Structure 1
Amino acid sequence: MLNRHIKSHSQYKKHMCTFCGKGFNDTFDLKRHTRTHTGVRPYKCEICSKAFTQRCSLEAHLRKIHGAALHFAYKQRRDKLYICEECGYATHSQEVLHLHLQDNHPSSTFLRKASKKMEMTLQKKQGEDQTENSTADEGSR
């Protein structure tokens, strides 16, 4: 969090918006900004169907408009939502999003990024599996 804040003061903007050219130091900020151009609003209110670009905006809406009491512990992890930045499709599975991109947006830059991310995730899982297997093998000796 501190690194992100420090980066925000940098004059050098590494990530540029392809729609308007505005620069950002953080990929998250660029993704959030890009939704203002694409109209992608993946966070939908289940009560009134109003949609938002960010989860925190939905949560604020639920509290202020519907009086919902949301109790999350500090930095509590809510279910991760994987979002197609092309059309707004949302899923709780990285693999399902990857398949969606392959089927519906094969020339998307988001597909290339998702493919790299999937590859890294699979490598990490394989490494964890190998560590677990070697630990189990040592225990059975």
Structure 2
Amino acid sequence: MGMSKRKGRGVKRHRCQHCDKSFTTSTSLKIHLRVHTGEKPYSCDQCGAAFTRQDTLKIHQRIHTGDKPYSCDQCGAAFRRQDTLTIHQRIHTGDKPYSCDQCGAAYTQQRNLEAHKLNHTGDKPYSCDQCGAAFTRQDTLKIHQHIHTGDKPYSCDQCGAAFTQQRTLKTHQCIHTGDKPYSCDQCGAAFTRQDTLKIHQRIHTGEKPYSCEQCGETFSCGGSLKSHQRIHTGEKPYWCGQCGKTFSRSENLKRHQHVHTGEKPYWCGQCGKMFSQRSNLKSHRRIHTGEKPYWCEQCGKTFSDSRCLKKHQLIHTAS
């Protein structure tokens, strides 16, 4: 008799009339039905947020109390939820239990895998009602919407700089602390951001995953490819407010602006002469070193500056 009772415990006798989902207890069914009715009987006395389950309310209240009862035995990081700790621990174990059946890419969280799968389908289910931009993830849409609202909820307590994302604030704070937590195991170079370290490591591996579909030239980072493509498109999105001159790269505009400001940030360690552009300093240094890397194919004469070579070549073309 006792054996048959134990066997019956796992049977899902309680069925939802709305979606045919089944449960082992009537209490579980009652909680589930709130998904359909919208009932949220448990509310937070601090902020009014409401929940369908009492245990979910309890977890939420830790936001207000600051309570983080689950801590990592590897690094001491603390969390409000047990499942968040479990996900975190995969950083240390390297465990990535969720893998893509299309390309084999693996992830620590199922939601990251689901978002990744949209890359294969091309589906972007989350769209901005302001400009129509579409995204594969809801959190990415939320961050994007700050462009329209101007909302920057994360601010630095050192200098007041504000950011749309918490991780951007965290990276910014490294300026004040001097902290560079990501270091290269090949050469020891340290960085404030993990993605910057990843790009740097391609110097050692030689990896250049970004290629130009126009000419086939490859690059180690997407930003360099984007700048390169402007050679083909002729696009010059950066313009000088003083004279209207346009540039394909922001750093070229910055260098140009020294002409208007009179700023000369580059100086020669040999004679102290100052220059507005690094390239001019480089040419100047050849006066001290005697280096003449530019040579004429017609007569073999060498020059320290490419402009001098160009001027000289006119002698040959004129004759």
Instruction: Compute the TM-score of the two structures, normalised by the length of structure 1.
Output: 0.44
Give the number of the structure with larger relative contact order, counting CA–CA contacts within 8 Å between residues 6 or more apart: 1
Which protein is bigger by CA-based radius of gyration?
2
The structure in which a higher percent of residues are strand is: 2
Instruction: Compute the TM-score of the two structures, normalised by the length of structure 2.
Output: 0.21
